[in-house]
């Protein structure tokens, strides 16, 4: 019984301390490399490569009862607005069109700068610009 308990604890400890979740500063790997400029609520601009949102290369949100996924390939810019507890993304498309969706404000945007990795919650963003 004692050996079983020791084995159980030995296997449980790595899970409790977060081992295997990646090193601090790691950013999610994506199938395609997108560059983006993140502008936060303080008007600080950060140019990044390897951009993603929660490890995905699309912006996802609700419009009515439906869920939209808009690929980074089609986005020119996104303006974020927090109002009444919701985060709205006004997306300007490369073809000139617009779409507005309600976004999960707790998701994080990621990227790599020339100094290291970068991450920011979407609620803290003012704008994203794709070159």
Mean pLDDT of 117-130: 97
* Structure token digits, residue 72: 């980074």
Give the model's confidence band at 24: pLDDT under 50 very low, under 70 low, under 90 confident, else very high. Answer: low
Q: How far is CA 96 from CA 13, 43, 74, 75, 118, in A?
A: 52, 25, 10, 10, 29
pTM reported for the whole predicted model: 0.79
- Report how far residue 102's alpha carbon sits from residue 9's, in angstroms, rounded to the nearest whole number: 43
- Residue from 91, 78, 94 nearest 126 by CA: 78
pLDDT, tens digit (0-9, with 9 covering 90-100), for 48-83? 999 999 999 999 999 999 999 999 999 999 999 999
pLDDT, tens digit (0-9, with 9 covering 90-100), for 79-120? 999 999 999 999 999 999 999 999 999 999 999 999 999 999
């Amino acid at each position: 019984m004692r050996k079983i308990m020791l084995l159980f604890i030995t296997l449980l400890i790595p899970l409790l301390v977060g081992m295997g979740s990646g090193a601090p500063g790691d950013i999610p790997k994506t199938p395609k490399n997108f560059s983006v400029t993140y502008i936060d609520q303080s008007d600080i601009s950060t140019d990044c490569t390897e951009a993603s949102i929660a490890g995905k290369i699309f912006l996802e949100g609700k419009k009515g009862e439906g869920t939209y996924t808009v690929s980074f390939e089609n986005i020119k810019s996104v303006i974020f607005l927090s109002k009444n507890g919701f985060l709205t993304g006004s997306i300007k498309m490369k073809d000139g069109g617009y779409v507005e969706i309600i976004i999960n404000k707790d998701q994080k945007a990621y990227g790599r700068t020339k100094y290291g990795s970068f991450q920011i919650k979407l609620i803290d963003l003012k704008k994203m610009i794709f070159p």
